[in-house]
């Protein structure tokens, strides 16, 4: 093949590839509301499958344990910075049968100094926090295959309604990074509550929860893939007496390229595809029961009737994924495993318990 023919062939191939790409791009741009919604649901379900089968999910969703009482909190004050608790702490079983509530640090030994707080312990103990204070002879055979490295920590607690808290950490299981957890919480008698938590999984997915109170309360829960939003619920409510969630001002549900918006004072619910209003579709938001946060994660559902007369609901599209989203939502709000491991160890170090 001579040089001219080669150039022509290459140009032809490049042109064909470009045409194919443009055609695919065009197909993506021309998806109907129904097609876009189905595609968004498939992407969300795939993401949740990856998240729920990850090693980190079972840790993040731990709900075992007892919370401290408000009465105790009203007289409890502490300020714990990272500098006070930094170092490497390794779990070592101790033959003791103390009741729940006794010192946790007795089961750990500080092996080395470090600018971080690093806690190494058996994954089995992490999955069952109560077992941390319970000794079994078989504990001596457990490997410290779970590690959490805390790079920023700040716990300034004055009362149940007055504290600020920061936790930035990386988590590893079997020496492989399993994700990172970040929490920032501020509760003030005058400023209200400003809470943010995020867990970034090891497969490029992340879940985020945000709550900010005030005359207008904002709550949102988001699932992203490489910072592309797969799912987001954001709700603004006007204050109603002492209740955090009062009258709904604006509700937004995002599923990939689909955005559904309802504003107070309007009977119509708007639905957009890539910011283009879909005038032929009819959307109805259904609240099946009393739900102060009014979320698809809980009891709310959304029905969409398309221009061809067919209809579907969000719960039907994502099926069992709703329950997993609900679990993830609650876990990011509570983050039990951080409270029952890092915080309790920090308290024990601070008070020099043994």
pLDDT of residue 44: 96
Residue 285 belongs to a domain:
yes
Provide, rounded to the nearest whole percent, the portion of the chain with pLDDT above 90: 52
Distance CA 110, CA 133 (A): 18
- Residue 160 has a pLDDT of 79
Q: Structure pTM?
A: 0.84
pLDDT of 11 above 80 = no
CA distance 130 to 153: 23
> 181 and 239 in one domain?
no
Are residue 213 and residue 307 in the same domain, yes or no? yes
pLDDT value, residue 80:
95
Within-domain flag for 19 = no
Q: Does the pLDDT of residue 66 top 80, yes or no?
A: no
Among 118-122, 226-230, 254-258, 262-266, the range scoring the smallest mean pLDDT is: 262-266
For residue 187, being part of any structural domain is answered with: yes
The pLDDT value given to residue 65? 52
The sign of the CA dihedral 222, 223, 226, 230 is negative
Average pLDDT over every residue of 289-313: 85
Q: Are 262 and 151 within one domain?
A: no
Provide the pLDDT for residue 296.
86
Q: What is the pLDDT of residue 243?
A: 56
pLDDT in tens, 28-38: 568 899 999 99
pLDDT band (50, 70, 90) for residue 9 = very low
Query: Residue 85: what pLDDT?
Result: 95
* Position 100 confidence tier, pLDDT thresholds 50, 70, 90: low
Rg of the chain over CA atoms, in angstroms?
Answer: 25
**SS3 for 109?**
strand
Same domain, 255 and 111: no
The residue range of the domain holding 306 is: 32-54+207-319
Same domain, 314 and 343: no
Let me know if residue 9 belongs to a domain: no
Whether residue 220 contacts residue 195, with contact meaning beta carbons closer than 8 Å, is answered with no
Residue 293 belongs to some domain of the structure: yes
Do 146 and 79 reside in the same domain of the chain?
Answer: yes
260/105 Cα distance (integer angstroms): 49
**Same-domain status, 173 and 123:** yes
Q: Measured between alpha carbons, how far is 19 from 30 in angstroms, rounded to an integer?
A: 16
Q: Is residue 104 predicted with pLDDT exceeding 50?
A: yes
What is the pLDDT, as a whole number, of residue 173? 94
Q: Is the dihedral of CA 189, 220, 73, 84 positive or negative?
A: negative
Is 3 part of any domain? Answer: no
Of the given ranges (5-9, 97-101, 237-241), which has the lowest mean pLDDT? 5-9
Residues 189 and 334 in one domain: yes
User: Which of the pair, 106 or 39, is modelled with greater confidence?
Assistant: 39
The answer to whether residues 115 and 264 belong to one domain is no
My answer on whether 193 and 245 are in the same domain is: no
What is the tens place of the pLDDT at every residue in 336-346?
Answer: 777 778 898 89
How confident is residue 112, by pLDDT bands cut at 50, 70 and 90?
Answer: very high
Asked if pLDDT for residue 196 goes beyond 60, the answer is: yes
Asked whether 175 and 193 are in contact (CB, 8 A), the reply is no
Lowest mean pLDDT segment, chosen from 14-23, 59-68, 152-161:
14-23
Half-sphere exposure of 24 (CA within 13 A, CB side): 5
More confident site: 71 or 163: 163
276 or 68: which leads in pLDDT? 276
59: pLDDT strictly greater than 70: yes
Structure tokens given for 175: 């020496």
pLDDT value at 93 more than 70:
yes
Residue 7 covered by a domain = no
* Same domain membership, residue 197 and residue 213: no
Lowest average pLDDT, out of 59-63, 116-120, 230-234, 240-244, goes to 240-244
Mean pLDDT of the region 140-167? 93
Give yes or no for residue 67 having a pLDDT over 90: no
The domain total for the chain is 2
Q: Name residue, tokens 């829960």.
A: 221
Residues 186 and 88 in one domain: yes
- The predicted pLDDT at position 292 comes to 65
The answer to whether residue 39 sits within a structural domain is yes
pLDDT of residue 99: 56
Confidence of residue 245 (pLDDT cuts 50, 70, 90): low
The overall average pLDDT reported for the chain is 84
Average pLDDT over residues 304-324: 92
């Amino acid at each position: 093949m001579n040089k001219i023919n080669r150039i022509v062939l290459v140009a032809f191939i490049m042109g064909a590839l470009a045409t194919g790409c443009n055609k695919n791009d065009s197909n993506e741009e021309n998806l109907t509301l129904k097609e876009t919604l189905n595609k968004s649901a498939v992407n969300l379900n795939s993401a949740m499958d990856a998240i729920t089968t990850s090693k980190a999910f079972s840790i993040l969703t731990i709900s075992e344990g007892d919370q401290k009482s408000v009465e105790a909190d009203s007289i409890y004050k502490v300020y714990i910075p990272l500098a006070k608790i930094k170092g490497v702490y390794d779990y070592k079983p101790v033959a003791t049968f103390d009741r729940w509530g006794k010192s946790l640090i007795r089961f750990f030994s500080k092996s080395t100094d470090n600018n971080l707080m690093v806690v190494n312990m058996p994954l089995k103990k992490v999955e069952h926090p109560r077992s941390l204070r319970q000794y079994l002879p078989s504990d001596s055979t457990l490997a410290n295959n779970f590690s959490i490295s805390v790079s920023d920590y700040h716990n300034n607690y004055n009362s149940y309604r007055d504290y600020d808290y920061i936790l930035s950490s990386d988590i590893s299981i079997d020496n492989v990074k399993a994700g990172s957890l970040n929490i920032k919480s501020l509760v003030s008698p005058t400023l209200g509550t400003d809470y943010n938590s995020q867990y970034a999984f090891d497969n490029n997915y992340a879940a985020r929860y945000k709550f900010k109170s005030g005359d207008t309360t904002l709550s949102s829960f988001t699932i992203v893939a490489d910072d592309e939003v797969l799912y987001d619920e954001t709700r603004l409510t006007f204050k109603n007496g002492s209740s955090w969630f009062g009258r709904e001002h604006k509700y937004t549900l995002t599923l990939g390229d689909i955005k559904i918006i309802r504003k107070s004072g309007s009977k119509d619910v708007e639905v957009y595809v890539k910011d283009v209003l879909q005038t032929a579709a009819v959307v109805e938001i259904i609240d099946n029961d009393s739900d102060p946060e009014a979320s698809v994660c809980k009891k709310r559902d959304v029905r969409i009737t398309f221009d061809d007369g067919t209809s579907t609901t969000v719960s039907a599209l994502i099926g069992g994924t709703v329950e997993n989203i609900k679990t993830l939502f609650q876990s990011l709000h509570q983050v039990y495993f951080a409270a029952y491991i890092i915080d309790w160890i920090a308290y024990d170090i601070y008070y020099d318990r043994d």
